[in-house]
Amino acid sequence: MNLVTLQQPSRIVLGEGATQRFAEEFVAHGFKRLFLLTAPSILPRLEGIIQQIEASGTKVQIYNRITAEPALDEVLEIIDQARDFSTDSVVGIGGGSVLDTAKIVAAFVNSKQQVSECFGIGLIKERGVWCACLPTTSGTGSEVSPNAILLDRAEKLKKGIVSPYLLADAAYIDPLLTITVPAKITAETGMDALSHCIESYTNRHAHPVVDAYALQGIELIAKNLERAVKDGQDREARAALSLGSYYGGLCLAPVNTAAVHALSYPLGGEYHISHGLANAILLPPVMRFNLEANIEKHAAIARAMGVDCEGLTPREAAEKGVQFIADLAERCGIPTTLTALGIGREKVGELADAAMKVTRLLVNNPREVTREDAVAIYNELYE
Ligand SMILES: [Fe+2]
């Protein structure tokens, strides 16, 4: 058995009502200056807990202008604001972009290191202030992962920072916070979570303890995503997705993602395609490419999703599973080609060049990906 290190916030509160529990526990901590990051669409729903926190004597500064995946220069500006406010606690309530930003602000607010020096794995040297994350989408798993992704505008590439210092101190996962997420974002973030589970399960560094989380996540997401997309108020489906997304997030620290994420980053960096959508589009072709490396595991993915595999060979089951995912994405309204996203075929070479730079994830892929392979995978995404 290979070595694995499990990391997650030391406190996880999961279930309906976690948001209210957060407010109570935050007040009990006795912090005096809360820097709260959120998004404009979420803020109105937080009035009650903000009032409760302010009533306890805590000053609250709100930054609610994060609407898309954050760029490095924006994050530096937010860190300055948090520093000027002398914050002693940082909380993110939002999607992955908000949570990633909150984690970076918390880590760097009192640090002498530059954020730009820390792209990569394990380069942050010290801990900042206390940080909690409350996800409002079921997708990125950022609330329990040591990862944050930023856009480097100069290089037009999404870059990752991975560090134990980016782990939140506490995560409060409340399915009720996800009830109002629009269908499109539900679909895209759900496919991101599914890709976390699949990419860690089939990973070169996969581990039985992480496989258990991953298979649970695959089953929950595959069986509930369409329900939540079609009816956002379906509390049972929302709860299942919250749990599935949490399992996907748990896979990130010990094992992490692979070629789906590596090939998706150039779509975000250059064309501002959302992280979830980029992964959703790339998941089926990368799975087809990877299938050879471990047919049994790909067949197990199909069975976990509830695909009828009776009488099929492992290869047939694995292929049926990939098709199920492609069909699921389509039923959830996700475009399935780069043609549909308006990215011309002449761009494939540039996309492949950019993807080959994401070596920290490509090394995890169960099958080696050459530049030619990357070109072939992107080319599959044209009509
Ligand atoms: Fe992701």
Q: What is the mean pLDDT of the chain?
A: 95
346-365 pLDDT, tens digit per residue, is: 999 999 999 999 999 999 99
Average pLDDT of span 184-204 = 98
Rounded distance from Cα 227 to ligand 1 centre (Å): 21
277-309 pLDDT, tens digit per residue, is: 999 999 999 999 999 999 999 999 999 999 999
Rounded distance from Cα 297 to ligand 1 centre (Å): 20
Q: Which fold has domain 11-178?
A: Rossmann fold (3.40.50)
Rounded distance from Cα 364 to ligand 1 centre (Å): 14
Q: Which fold has domain 183-379?
A: Dehydroquinate synthase-like, alpha domain (1.20.1090)
Tell me whether residue 355 is exposed, middle or buried, using C-beta atoms within 10 angstroms of its C-beta: 0 to 12, 13 to 18, 19 or more.
buried
Rounded distance from Cα 108 to ligand 1 centre (Å): 23
Rounded distance from Cα 360 to ligand 1 centre (Å): 14
Rounded distance from Cα 382 to ligand 1 centre (Å): 23
Rounded distance from Cα 241 to ligand 1 centre (Å): 15
- Is 311:287 a contact under the CB 8 Å cutoff? no
Residue 68 pLDDT grade (very low, low, confident, very high; cuts 50, 70, 90): confident
Looking at residue 229, its pLDDT comes to 98
Rounded distance from Cα 192 to ligand 1 centre (Å): 5
Query: Are both 11-178 and 183-379 of the same fold?
Result: no
- Is 39:67 a contact under the CB 8 Å cutoff? yes
Say how far apart CA 218 and CA 213 lie, in whole Å. 9
Say how far apart CA 329 and CA 345 lie, in whole Å. 22
With residues binned 3-state (H G I as helix, E B as strand, rest as coil), the percentages for the chain, rounded to 5, are: 55, 10, 35
Rounded distance from Cα 261 to ligand 1 centre (Å): 7
Beta bridge partner(s), residue 147: 162
Rounded distance from Cα 253 to ligand 1 centre (Å): 12
Q: Which strands, in side-by-side order, build the sheet including 89-94?
A: 11-14, 170-173, 130-135, 89-94, 33-37, 59-63
> pTM of the predicted model, to two decimals?
0.94
Beta bridge partner(s), residue 120: 161
What is the number of alpha carbons within 13 Å of residue 44 lying toward its C-beta?
Answer: 3
Q: Where are the domains of the chain?
A: 11-178, 183-379
Residue 159 pLDDT grade (very low, low, confident, very high; cuts 50, 70, 90): confident
Rounded distance from Cα 129 to ligand 1 centre (Å): 25
Rounded distance from Cα 77 to ligand 1 centre (Å): 25
SS3 62: strand
Rounded distance from Cα 197 to ligand 1 centre (Å): 10
Rounded distance from Cα 265 to ligand 1 centre (Å): 10
SS3 320: helix
Rounded distance from Cα 178 to ligand 1 centre (Å): 18
> Above 90 in pLDDT, residue 178?
yes
| N-term to C-term CA, the chain | 43
